[in-house]
Structure 1
Amino acid sequence: MTGLQEGARWRVVLWDFDGTLANTSGDVWGSLRYAAGRRGGSFVGGFDERDENLALPMDVIYASLCPSPDPAALPSFEEDVRVHYRSISAHPETDLYPGMRELLEELRTRGVRSRIVTNKPQGALLRILDLKGWRGLFDGWVCADSDDGVELSKAQMAARAMNAESASPDECVMVGDSWGDVVGARATGVHSVAVTYGDGDVDRLLCEEPDQVAENVEQLREILLGSSRDA
């Protein structure tokens, strides 16, 4: 592992995006409320105040609207959500988790590369990176729809990111907040770090037995770079 400064354990970090690098839930709910409002509906009973509900299938989220929506209109609801999130929303509530920018910058100074591997559509990801001025924090990205007409699994995304860096599995670490991140890491022979500060299902995440767990960004930094800081 050439080029790494003391303390860095891996040459490449493969980052999940939502719930790992950035808290995006507020703006996802914003797009869902937009689509609901176009149909004269709304979420009730605090449904849209529980981020774990974002992991539910879209048909379940749609069925929770009040008044009860027409099941046949689900495709148009999904399209309104997509259009709003990808083209209309300025993502005002999306932000990196506290300490994450500093960690990304420190990784770079230590010679560690950062690549995003995410199920988020590439158009939506790049729009957020541009709106927030975050592109320069990363060395690249692979999204589930990076291949037209083919949906990539997390393992396939990780493999592509490693190939782009000419990196072997033992030179890489996957960081994510969902069980799928751990499964993808295991399938590619990559060390996994699960973060529990995101909006993923923590019980399901830990059930996959990740190699390490971080409850906050500071713990994540210690895993990736060690406990010492430059003076």
Structure 2
Amino acid sequence: MSPNPPLRILDGIRLVAFDLDGTLVDSVPDLAAAVDAALRSLGLAGVDEASVRDWVGNGSRKLVERALEALDAQDTDPEAAHEAFLHHYRLAPCRATRLYPGVREALEGLRARGLTLVLITNKPAAFIAPILETLGLSDFFDLTLGGDSLAAKKPDPAPLLHVASRFGVTPSVCLMVGDSRHDIEAGRGAGFRTLAVPYGYNHGDPVAASAPDAMVESLGELV
């Protein structure tokens, strides 16, 4: 990575789209607790937080499917397991979820520059507001999209193209910030510039392998 990529990656940018889980917040403790409780309520063995950390990234249904696959629970109805997960996650979506270092400073700095900030996550939309409100992030975002807000979710570029159209900007002046290959693939497919952080969830693989346009160790480096 060449010196000072954040300065160049932001040059001319008018809209910044952020992923949520693994990028702005570490939500795995609460997700793992909900998955574990859901599985146990169905008479299955529980799962550990480390495993859940590798399963996050494609939405809640895929998260539950991966848990069932890991337990070889072929006789368990995936939809019933998903509903059980949603029930338990609703009870405590932000009990142990925490901001990563530098996130608030980055959002404050980018907002001060007059940039449009949006959130595009594969998490169900119903959980976005409780988390943002609890962590004091609600006022930073002009629009939030969950994995069920549109017909498609990341890595499909459709949500990114939707926000570009919504705010009347071309993809070339938009930046996608995420922690996984799904974010980078969606950004590239939409014609956004891409910025990755290495500390999140990418199924155990380094996100650098997806060749984002730039990387930062902390989002605080953006300001």
Specify if TM > 0.5.
Answer: yes
Decide which structure has the larger Cα Rg and report it: 1
**Amino acid in the other structure paired with 2:127:** A
- Structure 1 counterpart of 2:85, from 78, 81, 84: 81
Alpha-carbon distance in 1 for matches of 2:34, 2:137? 22
* Cα distance, 1:69 vs structure 2: 4.7
Alpha-carbon distance in 2 for matches of 1:136, 1:23? 20
**Amino acid in the other structure paired with 2:64:** M
Q: Deviations over 1:19-40 (max 9, x none)?
A: 0111111110010111123134
1:58 aligns with 2:31: no
TM-score by length of 1: 0.79
**Amino acid in the other structure paired with 2:14:** R
1:140 aligns with 2:143: yes
Partner of 1:228: none
Going from structure 1 to structure 2, the CA distance change for 1:32 and 1:57 (only over 3 Å counts) comes to closer
| Structure 2 unmatched ranges of 5 or more | 1-6
For the aligned residue pairs, the C-alpha RMSD in angstroms reads: 2.5
* Cα distance, 1:98 vs structure 2: 1.3
Alpha-carbon distance in 2 for matches of 1:203, 1:90? 26
Partner of 2:14: 11
Going from structure 1 to structure 2, the CA distance change for 1:136 and 1:218 (only over 3 Å counts) comes to closer
Partner of 2:3: none
SS at match of 1:210: coil
Going from structure 1 to structure 2, the CA distance change for 1:212 and 1:43 (only over 3 Å counts) comes to same
Alpha-carbon distance in 2 for matches of 1:146, 1:59? 20
How many residues in Structure 1 have an aligned counterpart in Structure 2?
209
Going from structure 1 to structure 2, the CA distance change for 1:202 and 1:172 (only over 3 Å counts) comes to farther
Q: Deviations over 1:180-207 (max 9, x none)?
A: 1111111111111111111224636333
Percent identity of the aligned residues? Answer: 27
| Structure 1 unmatched ranges of 5 or more | 1-5, 226-231
Higher deviation after alignment, 158-167 or 206-215:
206-215
- Structure 2 counterpart of 1:34, from 37, 45, 53: 37
- Structure 2 counterpart of 1:99, from 102, 105, 116: 102
Going from structure 1 to structure 2, the CA distance change for 1:152 and 1:53 (only over 3 Å counts) comes to closer
Going from structure 1 to structure 2, the CA distance change for 1:54 and 1:183 (only over 3 Å counts) comes to closer
**Amino acid in the other structure paired with 1:131:** T
SS at match of 1:71: coil
